[in-house]
Amino acid sequence: MVLATGCAHERVLTAGHDFTLRVVAGDAQTAPAGSLLAQSFAVEVRDVAGAPVRATVVVFRVGAGSADSAAMLDSLSVTDANGVARAELRLGIRAGRVEVLAFPAGAGDRAITLTATATNGAAISGFLPGSVGPGDTLAVAGNALGGVASTVEIGGVRVKPVSGSDAELRVVVPDCLPAGSVGVRVLSGSAWTAPRMLSYTPRRRPITLRPYEATVIGSAELSSCVTLATEGFASYIIVPQFATRATTVVETAARVTAGIATAAALFESEGWVPRAALRTAQQELDAHLRDEERRIAPVAHTAEPYHPPMLALTLGSLRTFKVITVLDGSQVTTATGKLRFLGDHLGIYVDTTAFPGYNDADLQKLGHLFDAELYRTVVESFGPESDVDRNGKVLVFLTQRVNALVAANDCALKGFVTGFFWGRDLVPSLPNSNAGEIFYGLVPDPFALYSCPHASLDVQRYLSGTFIHEMQHMVSFFHHVVARGGESEEGWLNEGLSHIAEELASKVYEARFPPPLGRSTPQQIFPDSSQPFIAPQLLNAYIYLNSTTNHSVTTYDGGGSIEERGASWLFLRWLGDQKGDSIYRRLVQTSLTGIANVEARTGEPFARLFGDFSVAIWADSILGVPRSQVSARYRFLSRNLRQLMARQATIAGFPDQWPLKLFSVPAGGYAEGPLIQGTMTYGSVGPYVPSPGPLVLGFMKSSGSAFGASDGAQLGILRVR
């Protein structure tokens, strides 16, 4: 069979065209009902010459077994450089055989079949007692429940069994659930049981947190379900927050109470930082480009197959590019580039009219970094890029048109643009599309011919971080929009993942040069080679932590300030530490976006993730407290946050080794201030001398009215003494 893509240069394989398709992994697995198969299904696509076909969409569709809720985690996949597409199957709720059809998009008549067998899995048969309240011991009866290694979820809150076997689990019912019927299910291995309903009656009782234990409670349940112990110098960190997002930023005046409100204080009464009103030029351009990606998504969904011209990639050859000339992307010009580096995955063109700031040695060094190091990091971490032009390469065009996006006299105020990816280039039917995978970058300009001056070594340092950042955007747009016909990823998650891409490049060099290797000074935490990638993340994070109330993880004010980018990076770094760095690939290779994407890929409600992340910011690496004393859920496992922020303060000359400030709530008093979607603030409760007795916490609007369900209002509580 002959692969049409190799002959007609079509992106997808269609019925009637020839190709070879075979199973390479995952077939004929057996697992308990409800389980996620241990091994992904994998199929391989090859052309008539036996060469693997990359960047082709493959559909995985459940046939027999779908009635029992067997489902692919993502029904579409994209072939990698080896021509292999992978997909994950979760078995249905009953035992039986499941069949999955796999075929290149448009060629459903040529599908091959993979199978899996579900054996009898975990199931709940009943409860004792049938009606419970907080703190009660609940017996869960059933089969294959997994014993004490399993997890029980009651009303969305996950708890570990205090004892148990495959036939029965005993758990302590959590506090602060909504009154009425709540669902109960058990996670045994990778299989969830079908939920059964249980009657729950809330009641207020003392919270029993030990030092460095934490909980997160919804605002609606807070004042009616728990009291805080204050005797014995007990003290707590509290984290009021809105675990949600919105299209536009809206401030809400919020209040935290501790007993009867008789005194007042303000959130962030010291160190209040107003919302940044000015974006950098790079952020302004990014905002316009990401907005355009959202607008052109419908065109990408309906575009006809593209037949690219056959263009030879030979050193010294020329080609023309359409290049943006203004920050809003509304004007373009035509420029000519000369191919001066050609690697396995990438080619670098340099504008023929640019000042000769790059010599051949510079381009070889830069090309090797992009081709052998950064490209590999991107595709291994997030997935393969598209191949719209069928040349098997990502192109880099280095041009003074990028420098000139910002006038020289504006650089001091707005900064400058280092590079970008233009989503239009992956939609050949659009005007001014370059019909290929292209990264645009600035050139050395030591004499300020085009804008503010840039030495060659500085430009190479700028480009390394920008290239991998923009490559994530390129891969994301392809997988979300072009391959799966979805919408482009929401700005906060898209930018956050691009900042994660920079950090993952840093991790490559951190692993290569463990301390004290590769460092100019003994004080350095990171090797010299990782600095272009990790340093911006640490600065962004420090500035964010100085004002968490003003800057959102999830709701960007425009294209994302440095504080907002620092917030998203911190959240995704914590998420990767909890779920493994493979979570980033799963977040990119999907048509889902934003919070729905995070929930689907992690299998957890966003409110729970956001709440535990907010606690981890404070609880991670507390000075004088062994890290192991704090649950892994409330830590950054791969980073020591306080150490990093202290080092950042030293480098930047900031006065505070730890930037996050606390407000305090007096006994019988309250604290209040504004919050926006996706933000949090940090306060202290206690120690109180003498002890006023148990305190009842409340979290509400400053008017005294309750928050709405869509506000995502909840309170993190961490006992620290």
Half-sphere exposure of 285 (CA within 13 A, CB side): 26
**Domain 123-200 in this protein, CATH class:** mainly beta
Q: What is the pLDDT of residue 86?
A: 94
Q: Is the pLDDT of residue 156 over 50?
A: yes
Give the 3-state secondary structure of residue 418.
coil
Using one digit for the tens of pLDDT, what is the confidence trace for 698-721?
999 999 899 998 999 999 999 998
Question: Could you give the CA distance from residue 286 to residue 468 in angstroms, rounded to a whole number?
Answer: 14
Which residues, other chains included, contact 610 with Cβ-Cβ below 8 Å and sequence gap of 6+?
Answer: 241, 243, 553, 571, 678, 712
Q: Is the pLDDT of residue 454 over 70?
A: yes
Q: Is the pLDDT of residue 262 over 80?
A: no
Q: Is the pLDDT of residue 651 over 80?
A: yes
Q: What is the pLDDT of residue 264?
A: 56
Using one digit for the tens of pLDDT, what is the confidence trace for 400-453?
999 999 999 999 989 999 999 999 999 999 999 999 999 999 999 999 999 999
Provide the pairing of β-strand 196-200 with 163-164: unpaired
Domain borders along the chain are 4-119, 123-200, 205-270+661-719, 278-489
Question: Could you give the CA distance from residue 591 to residue 483 in angstroms, rounded to a whole number?
Answer: 9
Contact 290, 559 (CB under 8 A): yes
Alpha helix segments (H runs only) across 518-654: 531-545, 562-579, 582-588, 594-602, 606-619, 641-652
Q: Is the pLDDT of residue 299 over 70?
A: yes
Alpha carbon separation from 422 to 23, 45, 640 (Å, rounded)? 36, 29, 36
Percent of the chain with pLDDT over 70: 95
Provide the pairing of β-strand 214-218 with 713-719: antiparallel
Q: What is the pLDDT of residue 12?
A: 43
The larger pLDDT score, comparing residue 81 to residue 3, is at 81
Using one digit for the tens of pLDDT, what is the confidence trace for 609-629?
999 999 999 999 999 999 999
Q: Is the pLDDT of residue 140 over 90?
A: yes
Between CA 306 and CA 311, with CA 307 as vertex, the angle to 5 degrees is 125
Provide the pairing of β-strand 394-398 with 346-351: parallel
Q: Is the pTM of this model over 0.85?
A: yes
Using one digit for the tens of pLDDT, what is the confidence trace for 540-593?
999 999 999 989 999 998 788 999 999 999 999 999 999 999 999 999 999 999
Q: Please, which pLDDT band fits residue 161 given cuts at 50, 70 and 90?
A: very high
Q: Is the pLDDT of residue 65 over 90?
A: no
- Which CB contacts under 8 angstroms, 24+ apart, belong to 141-145? 141/167, 141/168, 142/167, 142/168, 142/186, 142/193, 143/167, 144/32, 144/120, 144/188, 145/169, 145/186, 145/188, 145/193
CATH fold of 4-119 reads Immunoglobulin-like (2.60.40)
Structure tokens belonging to residue 532 = 């272009």
Q: Is the dihedral of CA 309, 311, 317, 322 positive or negative?
A: positive
Do the domains spanning 4-119 and 123-200 agree at the CATH topology level? yes
Q: Is the pLDDT of residue 11 over 50?
A: no
